[in-house]
Amino acid sequence: MSSFKHKSLPFLMWFFPVLFFAYQFIFRLWPGLMMYPIMEQFSIDASAFGMLAAFYYYGYAGMQIPVAILLDRFPPRYVICAFAILCGLATLLFTYTTHFYVAVAARFLVGVGAAVGFLGVSKVVSQWFPKDQYARMIGFSFTLGLMGAIFGGKPVSFLIETYQWQTVAVTLSVFSILIGCGAYLALRSPHRGEHPKNENQFKITHFRALLSSPILWLLAIANLLMVGSLEGFADVWGVPYLMMAYGLAKGEAAGLVSFVFFGMLFGGPFLALCSKKVGNYSVIIACGLGMALAFVCLLLTHHYNWWVLASLFFVIGVMCCYQVIVFAAGSTLVAAHNLGVTVAFLNCINMLGGSFFHTLIGKIMDLFWAGHFDGEGLRVYDLEAYTHALSIVPMCACVGALLVGLIAIRGQKTAKRQRK
List, for residues 354-400, the tens digit of each pLDDT value: 889 988 998 999 898 888 877 767 788 888 999 999 999 999 999 99
Residues 110, 91: contact at Cβ < 8 Å? yes
Task: List the one residue out of 117, 25, 134, 122 whose CA is nearest residue 80.
Answer: 117
Does residue 356 share a domain with residue 247? yes
User: Mean of the pLDDT values across residues 172-187?
Assistant: 93
Let me know if residue 235 belongs to a domain: yes
Q: What whole-number percentage of the chain has pLDDT above 90?
A: 33
Count how many domains the chain has: 2
Does residue 145 share a domain with residue 224? no
Q: Evaluate if residue 162 carries a pLDDT over 60.
A: yes
> Which residue range is the domain that position 204 belongs to?
199-420
Does residue 204 share a domain with residue 184? no
Supply the mean pLDDT for the chain: 84
Let me know if residue 2 belongs to a domain: no
Q: What is the pLDDT of residue 284?
A: 92
Domain boundary among 174, 196, 218: 196
Task: List the one residue out of 319, 282, 281, 276 whose CA is nearest residue 297.
Answer: 319
What is the Cα–Cα distance from 87 to 349, expressed in whole angstroms?
A: 21
Does residue 318 share a domain with residue 178? no
Let me know if residue 220 belongs to a domain: yes
> At 208, is the secondary structure helix, strand, or coil?
helix
Any long-range contacts for 366-375 (C-beta under 8 Å, 24+ apart)? 366/45, 366/46, 366/47, 369/45, 369/46
If pLDDT is split at 50, 70 and 90, which confidence band does 199 have? very low
Let me know if residue 40 belongs to a domain: yes
Domain boundary among 181, 196, 211: 196
Does residue 344 share a domain with residue 235? yes
Beta strand 379-380 pairing with 372-373:
antiparallel
Most confident of 146-160, 381-395, 404-418: 381-395
Q: What is the pLDDT of residue 401?
A: 94
Q: What is the pLDDT of residue 100?
A: 92
Does residue 220 share a domain with residue 133? no
Let me know if residue 382 belongs to a domain: yes
Does residue 219 share a domain with residue 130? no
Q: Evaluate if residue 232 carries a pLDDT over 70.
A: yes
Let me know if residue 162 belongs to a domain: yes
Does residue 281 share a domain with residue 183? no
Residue 147 neighbours by CB under 8 Å, 6+ apart: 22
User: Mean of the pLDDT values across residues 335-339?
Assistant: 66
How many other C-beta atoms are found inside a 10 Å radius of the C-beta of residue 414? 11
Residues 217, 345: contact at Cβ < 8 Å? no
Q: Write b or e for each residue in 358-367: b if 16 or more Cβ atoms lie within 10 A of its Cβ, otherwise e.
A: bbbbbbbbbe
Does residue 379 share a domain with residue 302? yes
Q: What is the largest CA-CA distance in the chain?
A: 72
What is the Cα–Cα distance from 115 to 344, expressed in whole angstroms?
A: 11
CATH number at residue 80: 1.20.1250.20
Does residue 220 share a domain with residue 186? no
Let me know if residue 1 belongs to a domain: no
Q: How confident is the model over 242-301, as pLDDT tens digits?
A: 998 998 888 888 889 989 988 988 887 788 888 888 888 999 999 999 999 999 999 998
H or E element: which one contains 270? helix 250-278
Does residue 397 share a domain with residue 318? yes
Ranges 50-64, 121-135, 192-206, 332-346: which has the least confidence: 192-206
Q: How confident is the model over 202-217, as pLDDT tens digits?
A: 555 666 667 777 888 9
Let me know if residue 3 belongs to a domain: no
Does residue 166 share a domain with residue 135? yes
Domain boundary among 163, 196, 229: 196
